[in-house]
Structure 1
Amino acid sequence: MRVTTETDRCVGAGQCALLSPEVFDQDDDGIVVVLQPEPAEELREDVRQAEDLCPARTIRVLD
C-alpha cells in the first residue's frame, strides 16, 4: 500500500490525522502531511477510512 496526497487541494479538515495519526499529520497551516507513505498492513482500514472521509478527496491509497 502506498499513500499519496495532493497538498494543494487539502482544506485542513483534519479527519485523516484523527483517524490515522500514525500515517497522517497536519502542518502549521492545517495541511495534510504523510508521515508514512508506505504504512503497515494493519493500518489499512484506518487509512482507507481517511481516504473515504477526506472532504477534498486529496488522499489516494494505491495497492
Structure 2
Amino acid sequence: MSAQRMLFLTVATLLFTGIGLSGWNQVHWFLYLPAGMLVFAGLTGICPGLMLYRNLGLK
C-alpha cells in the first residue's frame, strides 16, 4: 500500500469518526461524499477528486 492511499484511508477514518461522534442522524448527507470518495480512493488507488480537477485543466 502506498503512502498516498494510506493518507486517503486515514483522512476518511477521521471524517467517519467525526461523523460518528457528532451523531449519524445529526450530520448533513453532504459530509458523507468526501469520506466515501476517500475510502474509494484508498481501496482502489483511483481518486475521483483528482480526476475531476485534471479534467478541468488543473495539474
Give the TM-score normalised by the residue count of structure 2: 0.34
Higher strand proportion, which one? 1
Bigger CA radius of gyration: 2
Give the TM-score normalised by the residue count of structure 1: 0.32
Higher helix proportion, which one? 2
